[in-house]
Structure 1
Amino acid sequence: MADPDGNLRSRATGKSTRSETGKVLFENPAVAAAEGGDAGPAEPGVVLPIWSSGSAGTDKQTAQSPEQPAAPSPDHTDGVESVRILDRLTSRQSQMSIRGAITGDVNFSWHHVTVEIPEQPKKNLPAKTIINDINGEVKAGSLLAIMGASGAGKTTFLNLLTDRTASVLHVNATLAINNNTVQAADIRKISSYVQQQDLFFGNLTVIEHLRIQALLRMNKKLSTEERLERVREVLEELGLAKVTNSFIGSVSGGVRGISGGEQKRLAFATEVLADPPLLFADEPTSGLDSFAAQSVVQHLRGMAESGRTILCTIHQPPSEVFSKFDQLLLLAEGRTAYLGPRGGAVSYFSSIGYSCPSGFNPADFYIYTLAVVPTEREASKERIKAITDKYVDIEKQQGIHNRPAPKPSARITKAVRELGHEHGESWWTQFRVIGKRTFLLTRRNPILIQVNIGTTIMTSLVMGLVFLGIGSEGNIQQRVQGVAGSMFFVIALTAFTGAGNIVQTVPVERPIFLREYENRMYSPYVYFLCKYVSTLPLNILLQLLASVITYFMFGLSSIAARYFIFYALVNLTVINSESIGYIISAVAGDNVAVAFALTPIGIVPLMLFAGLLLNLDSTPPYFIWLEFISFMRWGFEAAMINEWRNDTLENCTGAVQVCFPNGAAVLRSYALDTETSTIGDNVGILIGLAVGYRLIALAITMITLRVGVKR
């Protein structure tokens, strides 16, 4: 406890003491033992910044003062208080207020956390320890700043706490809620994570974005009205009510919208909709000016005071921002240099020989003190080791460092997992909400629609002029060659256009898709299905324009049924080429440049074996398989059958050159399967290939999601 003068007061004796230098000290080993374990006397002149993992507490005075909390008792309890709290978490939210019980007291602690990069003999890289045996706790109602120089392990530590550690790392850690061990995957069920990069669809308004999040992320037992009421509460809580109907905006998308600070607050609003008791944030002030940064952290301070437990990594905050935090964790070389009240850090560092100059921002001082200076590497490492060793010594004095980790509680684990099961909407709800959003985004991008329409008309007119009247003028050989060339050109151009439309949009959306998938908003199956369906209306319009222009300018058959078959084949070609685009996008991840570079590799081999550039009878045996998976081969064959089969062309009596007495002869000259193939067969194959391609794209995406590949 702290006395009115701010001195640390022993909970055992109620007496505060000071060293000769004015630093607060524990008087004797008995007092230290009362604070949590077998302890020797504190080293003279050292302030003890030790954290506590005792029972839950929500006293706001504790959260705002530099008081040192008592260290935990080494005896493990059965977690009665924790069970009571988590029982509230799993109760029916429809029978309580919107904010519900998930803002209940959750004290979060970590024990003996170690993260290592294993040895990589092939690259001649030794094993490396990123996080080295650290412990700590943050209580409900606290706002904890996690700070350290570059390479201190802040991001790795936060990723571990949020169950986002890369699969190649070796992790040894115990995480606990209210002194009861839980799995990292279970922590995600009662927490939210605000990542450093703000990812939004710029063409959505603030209220539209939050409504979508509410419909897919909040407890499914809540009614739509309750969810929308929660949206209104969050807008007010985070100061976004005045921009409710403003577009979020996107610099890359050319859409003007809300400010950077408002976007950051919107990111927090997105994560707190479900009222998580535990909130993580990675660099919440990154990219913001000092005023916007102060506003964001002030709102975090308000959320913490409402009972949430908040942990943030932050890099060299201004003094005004730094003052908003009440707890501080300093990491250096993967070890703890300090964990305790923010206000006590200056005294602690002074007590171990590192005094912050007067008028100097303490946050900057800590970073400079704990940084490895390139020109003084060895001296820096020795200084860091001395500071972190001192902190470990204090932990040992308090009996914390060697204390056994908390034990798991079956009831706590079950309660947390049942809470997780209350989230996640039905397949139909996911499809309805995401489908509506996808169509809305398409409709709000008129420039893209106009460009597609203009490009389609221009390229169709150019093709029409090149092959003008080719199907009805000239001798039969000229007609056969011209019609085949025009059919092939339409299919090839459609293939590149369809794949290109996908590879320039899907990789851009992938980071948002990954984040929403991690947040369990929807299944990848739903996302892909919505993308497939959303492209159909525009494709139908574009191919109608293209087919009307090209078909009649080419001078092809005047039979109406043949035109509609041609139109259907062009649409199927687009669907297949888009499917190839999805495969390429799945391989390229979020790299648009790589996706564009891979597009010719995915399309050209299929084009070579379409049946025009290389006679199918001449296909090398080792490439025959490409014929069968080439959608362009089946589309070209169907288009040729549609134009030539059953036609009588010329009398070949006495002919001395190549002669085509009928359409079947034309088809045989291209080694197309005229004896057994029908247009219906080819249409069925095209549909099957489209389904197969898209399943492959989905499989690649699922594999990257499951193995944790970062794209």
Structure 2
Amino acid sequence: MDSTTRTKSVEVSLPRRGSQSSFTSKSNRHALDVVVDNVSYEVTNVKTKDRLKLLTDVSCVFEHGRVHALMGASGAGKTTLLDVITSRVTSGEVSGNGVYYGGTPATKESFRACAAYVEQRDTLLASLTVKEMLNYWAELRARNEDERVEILARVPGIIDDLNLGECADVVVGDSLSRGISGGQAKRTNLALALITDPDVLFLDEPTSGLDSATSLDIVQILKQLADSGVTVIATIHSPTSEAFRLFDSLVMLKKGRVAFAGPMNTVTTYFHGLGYEYTESFNMADFYVGAVASDDVDCVGAFAKSSAGDANKGAVRAARAKEQLPPPPQPKVTRGALSKIVTLIKYRTRYNYKNPDFVAARSAGNILFGFVMMSLFWKIGAPSGDAQEQSTQLNVASLLSMINILPSFQASGYMPSVVMERAMFYREIDDGVYPLLSYIAYKIIEEGLLAIPVSLVAQMMLFLGCAIKGNFFYFWIINYGVMSCGIALAYVCSAVAPDMDSANTLLPVYNVVQLLFSGLIIRPESMPKGWAWYRHTLFVRYGWQAQMRNHFHNGEPKVFVDDSGTAVGVSDFYGVKHSLSTNILAVFGIWLFWIVLAYVAMKNIRHQKR
């Protein structure tokens, strides 16, 4: 096929189906070859600081309208090469002549313009049905309103084409809640990639964990996509011989080097020339992977000197010389960050709020602690005037201190939503479906809205039951601000920590330090001068000071004696500073600081190494 022309639409039917496939109906598909030209990739060993070369002088061509298998033994570099081709490597150095999509250098931007990637791991939202998952992804990927309508209209056809109709209204589920099957999850991930009707499709182990019949079904779908003009590139592990034969070409790697690259119909002849005689009693794919992995023959050196190796080099030169079509024109982006926030809330917040576990993790602790503290400090704030003797003032100060520290400890319930969503978050960021700011804003809105009724109920119990004086709105808004700071702090811990265990260690340690420096356990005047500055950074300190101002109004009887022998009230004794409004502003100012820090951490720290 001439690569300077557009491929024609091809009518195909899926296995066991007879309808025309809508994902092959794109009449203006771009014929894009993917070329890898003498590419190497090396990283630094973290422990030894030595340079480790993962890919060495890799050259091959993945022609459009073909389905290509990328194979090799474990550690051969298959997924690494796929990550380099798709610009998903997060460390190391790529060198050589580069990777090209239809003559255009491969970058994250060019990838997003014409390609899609199906991860090996199923990154789906457990709470959504298959149809809702596809609609969610369609709305995220749409760059303007017209495209949103167009992509959403494509969803029913994709569901039908991939034989997902029987599970369209079934929740995806996860390891703890039953949902769709493994094969249906694989097809759903493939459906997500087809949402944007890509010209190039990358897949990492699309058949792993599937039975032979389901694996064959997946490969047949890939074959039909290729027949429609899509360039399909898949790493594959132990496919059946029947599925293996459906591939049009094979690239075999050994320790990061090319051991074979060429049409599938030349594989048997080529390896026969090396002394490997294939018989039908073996699985074809496993036989050739084992042959390359063996040290009986230097397959890398043999290929480089062979006519097949020369043909591969010639194919790379020819593909680089083609004047292929540029990437399709990109529509003006009119669905910006705000629309992405709306989509995230529409599909994720709505279902999270229906999830009893999600709501309970954010409300049960607040309500329980509110009840316990109300019963423990019942009417403790009722005395007024001279009746506020020393023990009463101390008890009220202790109550207000605990009210401010507990929300920060309870913030641990907010961390799993970030840590457990990490794989999905990385996929969405890599695919460029929303800016990081949209994700942060969505999380703040989701948690902030739910925290309003929860904190209102808990704080009303405490305000009335403990006979707190002052204004209830201030009493509540102070607690809400401290709770918001705790949530933001939880996001920072989740972003910094590599796993849930580390996050669960980091947050309590910081909170214990906050408790020590908040001013009640150790009076500010008694703190070492080298630590005196630290209390000014703590939101629980400002929250407590605001609550003390709201309750006592700095008018409590002077029943304490400070270091100079002067009679003072409990507020002055514990160094409560600033006005009520100043302390409230400080709490929300620190909240903004933690939000910014969470953004910086999520942007610059990536625990998924590629």
Same fold judged by TM-score > 0.5? yes
**Cα distance in 1 between the residues matched to 2:538 and 2:526:** 16
Counterpart among 237, 242, 255 of residue 333 in structure 1: 255
Q: Does 1:371 align with 2:296?
A: no
8 Å contact kept, 2:145–2:335? no
Q: What is the one-letter code of the residue matched to 1:531?
A: K
Q: Structure 1 residues 313 and 60, CA, compared in 2 at 3 Å: closer, same or farther?
A: farther
SS at match of 1:175: strand
Counterpart among 653, 666, 670 of residue 570 in structure 2: 666
| Offset of residue 398 of structure 1 | 4.3
Partner of 2:479: 570
Q: Does 1:230 align with 2:162?
A: no
**Cα distance in 2 between the residues matched to 1:438 and 1:310:** 31
Partner of 1:537: 449
- The runs of at least 4 aligned residues of structure 1 exceeding 4 Å deviation read 52-61, 97-102, 122-126, 395-399, 401-409, 420-424, 655-658
Counterpart among 480, 484, 497 of residue 588 in structure 1: 497
Q: Structure 1 residues 517 and 59, CA, compared in 2 at 3 Å: closer, same or farther?
A: closer
**Cα distance in 1 between the residues matched to 2:233 and 2:101:** 14
Q: Structure 1 residues 53 and 605, CA, compared in 2 at 3 Å: closer, same or farther?
A: farther
Q: Does 1:143 align with 2:47?
A: no
**Cα distance in 2 between the residues matched to 1:420 and 1:60:** 22
The 5 Å alignment of 1:107-506 reads 107-117=33-43, 123-124=47-48, 126-178=50-102, 180-185=103-108, 186-218=110-142, 220=144, 222-251=146-175, 254-372=176-294, 380=295, 383=297, 385-386=298-299, 388-395=301-308, 397-398=310-311, 400=313, 415-416=326-327, 419=329, 422=332, 425-450=335-360, 452-472=362-382, 476-497=389-410, 499-506=411-418
8 Å contact kept, 1:117–1:170? no
**Using CA pairs below 8 Å that are at least 6 residues apart, which structure has the higher relative contact order?**
2
Q: What is the one-letter code of the residue matched to 1:695?
A: V
| Offset of residue 543 of structure 1 | 1.1
| Offset of residue 341 of structure 1 | 2.8
In the alignment of these two chains, the number of paired residues is 594
SS at match of 1:504: helix
Counterpart among 530, 538, 544 of residue 636 in structure 1: 544
8 Å contact kept, 1:148–1:154? yes
**Cα distance in 1 between the residues matched to 2:238 and 2:206:** 12
Q: Which structure 1 residue ranges, 5 or more long, are not aligned?
A: 1-51, 62-96, 373-379
Counterpart among 665, 682, 693 of residue 583 in structure 2: 682
Query: What is the TM-score with the length of structure 1 in the denominator?
Result: 0.77
Q: Does 1:618 align with 2:534?
A: no
Q: What is the one-letter code of the residue matched to 2:591?
A: A
8 Å contact kept, 2:142–2:148? no
Q: Structure 1 residues 619 and 392, CA, compared in 2 at 3 Å: closer, same or farther?
A: farther
Q: Does 1:696 align with 2:600?
A: no
| Offset of residue 607 of structure 1 | 2.0
| Offset of residue 684 of structure 1 | 0.9
| Offset of residue 160 of structure 1 | 1.0
Q: Deviations over 1:127-164 (max 9, x none)?
A: 44322223222222211111111121111111111111
8 Å contact kept, 2:9–2:25? no
8 Å contact kept, 1:606–1:626? no
| Offset of residue 479 of structure 1 | 0.3
8 Å contact kept, 1:135–1:401? no
SS at match of 1:505: helix
Q: What is the one-letter code of the residue matched to 1:689?
A: I
Q: What is the one-letter code of the residue matched to 1:678?
A: S
Query: What is the TM-score with the length of structure 2 in the denominator?
Result: 0.89
Using the aligned pairs only, state the percent identity: 27
SS at match of 1:400: helix
| Offset of residue 478 of structure 1 | 1.3
**Cα distance in 1 between the residues matched to 2:246 and 2:458:** 61
Q: Structure 1 residues 135 and 619, CA, compared in 2 at 3 Å: closer, same or farther?
A: same
8 Å contact kept, 2:139–2:148? yes
8 Å contact kept, 1:190–1:420? no
Q: Structure 1 residues 624 and 125, CA, compared in 2 at 3 Å: closer, same or farther?
A: closer
Q: Structure 1 residues 485 and 412, CA, compared in 2 at 3 Å: closer, same or farther?
A: farther
Q: Deviations over 1:506-527 (max 9, x none)?
A: 1111221111011111011111
**Cα distance in 2 between the residues matched to 1:115 and 1:343:** 30
8 Å contact kept, 1:301–1:325? yes
**Cα distance in 1 between the residues matched to 2:524 and 2:186:** 58
Counterpart among 424, 428, 433 of residue 521 in structure 1: 433
SS at match of 2:462: helix
8 Å contact kept, 1:316–1:363? yes
8 Å contact kept, 1:196–1:284? yes
- Of stretches 429-438 and 592-601 in structure 1, the one that deviates more from structure 2 is 429-438
**Cα distance in 2 between the residues matched to 1:656 and 1:613:** 17
Q: Deviations over 1:628-673 (max 9, x none)?
A: 11001101111111111254648x8xx9999x999x7221111112
Q: Which structure 2 residue ranges, 5 or more long, are not aligned?
A: 11-22
The structure with more radius of gyration: 1
SS at match of 1:255: coil
Q: What is the one-letter code of the residue matched to 2:431?
A: N
Partner of 2:17: none
